[in-house]
Amino acid sequence: MDQLYLDTAASAPVRREALEAAWPYLAGAFGNPSSHHEFGRVTAEALEDARARVARVLGMRSTDIVFTGGGTEAANLAVNGMALGGLPDATASAGTDSERRHIVTSPLEHEAVLASAEYLRRRHGFAVSFVDVESDGTVTPEALRAALREDTAVVSLGYANNEIGTVTDISTLAEVAHTVGAHVHTDAVQAAGWLPLTGLGVDAITLAGHKVGAPKGIGAAAIRARIPVEPLIHGGGQESGRRSGTENVALAVAFATALELAEAERVDATQRVALIRDDFIAEVLAQVPGVILTGAQPAGAGSARNPNHASFCFSRTSGEAVLLELERLGVTASSGSACAVGSDEPSHVLLALGIDAEVAKTSMRFTFPASITAEQGAAASAAVVEAATRLSLAFS
């Protein structure tokens, strides 16, 4: 069969509609949106239209939306920006007993969030607490409540984990965090197009364009306009002073277009792909010796696992070997987070779940596109069974 791409968690194919929407602002309408002439007004109107469209998908206001260079920058702006924005200007480095200098996150978060928390600890004297997680990656309200303090400034918990697919009940956890006055951020990069993005009750939500079919290099941090935010990038004060630099109008338009399409297709895609995913997981678990499902159990579109996500550890073989064999058989997948490629270390997510380090090195992730068919899903599971079983015998 043709090569089947099952790594959309790393990057989704670019939608033709997104490229077509962006083209006029690459070829003809080239003006700087900050310029006070007709060329600038054309692009400024397109930029604000894109901002309003993204806001509608998120159920937020246009003034909340900050366009960024991608999901990593968006997460940094949300976590660092809200934490530092809440400090008095005169004491941003000194600290007083009344200041909020405590961050709560989980050990399963994307590196963009974990590194932001570490930066706040190392450079600004924040304390960082990691909430306890269940063996499937879920976070309970009780666990979050135990990690909170009266001086908690920001709680950052991902909506859908990129490595194990576990979905967090973020709206319930946001209610818990708000009891101590903390601001709540959720990384929704993997959730867009698969989970509802409105009514989450959070103060900040971050997205990456290339996960929903826009080109790489565009993202958004939606942060309530009432919340003070310390910018990461200083300069001309674009994006309401939260992110300086001339905006990439073409990519903002492409992102808004792709996000709208993903949201319009979400309910149908979720219901259809979840069934294909469930059959895929059941087949692999039934036929591959020593395989371990990581993350939440699948159970259709309403499970605590992202509808398009399957992840395993092939404990009797090598994940990289399975990956190479699968590619030979026509299936492209991933050995884990794309942000950790080149590292020989086991996944920090899997280690936090209590999985043995050597077993964690055998992990593989399969993330399905919305276009996958039942026939392709069956062919993919057959390829996984063939590759993993053959290599399991070879390694035994």
Domain covering 16-260, topology: Aspartate Aminotransferase; domain 2 (3.40.640)
pLDDT bin (cut points 50, 70, 90) of residue 92 is very low
Cβ atoms 101, 129 nearer than 8 A: no
pLDDT per position as a tens digit, 156-188? 999 999 999 999 999 999 999 999 999 999 999
> Dihedral, CA atoms, 136, 103, 340, 383, nearest 10 degrees?
20
Q: How far apart are CA 77 and CA 231, in angstroms?
A: 7
Q: With 70 as the cut, is the pLDDT of residue 300 above it?
A: no
Tell me the CA distances in angstroms from 16 to 225, 260, 264, one per residue in order: 33, 13, 16
Q: With 70 as the cut, is the pLDDT of residue 350 above it?
A: yes
Helices (H), 166-306: 170-178, 249-287
pLDDT per position as a tens digit, 241-255? 999 999 999 999 999
Closest to 187 (Cα-Cα) out of 163, 165, 156 = 156
Q: How far apart are CA 8 and CA 211, in angstroms?
A: 7
pLDDT per position as a tens digit, 99-153? 899 999 999 999 999 999 999 999 999 999 999 999 999 999 999 999 999 999 9
Q: How far apart are CA 258 and CA 140, in angstroms?
A: 33
What was the pLDDT predicted at 98? 62
pLDDT bin (cut points 50, 70, 90) of residue 343 is low
What was the pLDDT predicted at 320? 82
Q: How far apart are CA 248 and CA 246, in angstroms?
A: 7
pLDDT per position as a tens digit, 182-206? 999 999 999 999 999 999 999 999 9
Sequence-separated (6 or more) residues with CB below 8 Å from residue 321: 391, 395
Question: Side chain identity at 94, as an amino acid letter?
Answer: A
The CATH class of 4-10+266-395 is: alpha beta
What was the pLDDT predicted at 336? 64
| Residue 358: half-sphere exposure toward Cβ, Cα within 13 Å | 3
pLDDT bin (cut points 50, 70, 90) of residue 340 is very low
Maximal CA-CA distance, the chain: 71
Q: With 70 as the cut, is the pLDDT of residue 95 above it?
A: no
Q: How far apart are CA 272 and CA 355, in angstroms?
A: 31
Helix-helix angle 374-395:249-287, to 10 degrees: 60
Sequence-separated (6 or more) residues with CB below 8 Å from residue 231: 77, 81, 241, 242, 243, 244
- For 19, counting Cβ atoms within 10 Å of its Cβ (0-12 exposed, 13-18 middle, 19+ buried), the class is middle
Cβ atoms 296, 306 nearer than 8 A: no
Q: What is the pTM of this model?
A: 0.94
Mean pLDDT of all residues belonging to the chain? 93
pLDDT bin (cut points 50, 70, 90) of residue 93 is low
Report residue 319 as tokens.
């994940």
What was the pLDDT predicted at 353? 93
313 is catalytic: no
pLDDT bin (cut points 50, 70, 90) of residue 298 is confident
pLDDT bin (cut points 50, 70, 90) of residue 297 is confident
As a whole number, mean pLDDT of residues 37-44 equals: 94
Cβ atoms 124, 94 nearer than 8 A: no
Q: How far apart are CA 65 and CA 120, in angstroms?
A: 23
Q: With 70 as the cut, is the pLDDT of residue 96 above it?
A: no
Percentage of residues in the chain having pLDDT higher than 70? 93
As a whole number, mean pLDDT of residues 254-259 equals: 98
Q: How far apart are CA 250 and CA 165, in angstroms?
A: 31
Tell me the CA distances in angstroms from 343 to 276, 335, 348, 349, one per residue in order: 31, 11, 11, 14
pLDDT per position as a tens digit, 204-233? 999 999 999 999 999 999 999 999 999 999
Q: How far apart are CA 47 and CA 203, in angstroms?
A: 23
Identified catalytic residue from 128, 339, 340, 382:
339
Report residue 173 as tokens.
């956890």
pLDDT per position as a tens digit, 360-390? 999 999 999 999 999 999 999 999 999 998 8
Q: With 70 as the cut, is the pLDDT of residue 286 above it?
A: yes
**Domain ranges across the chain:** 4-10+266-395, 16-260
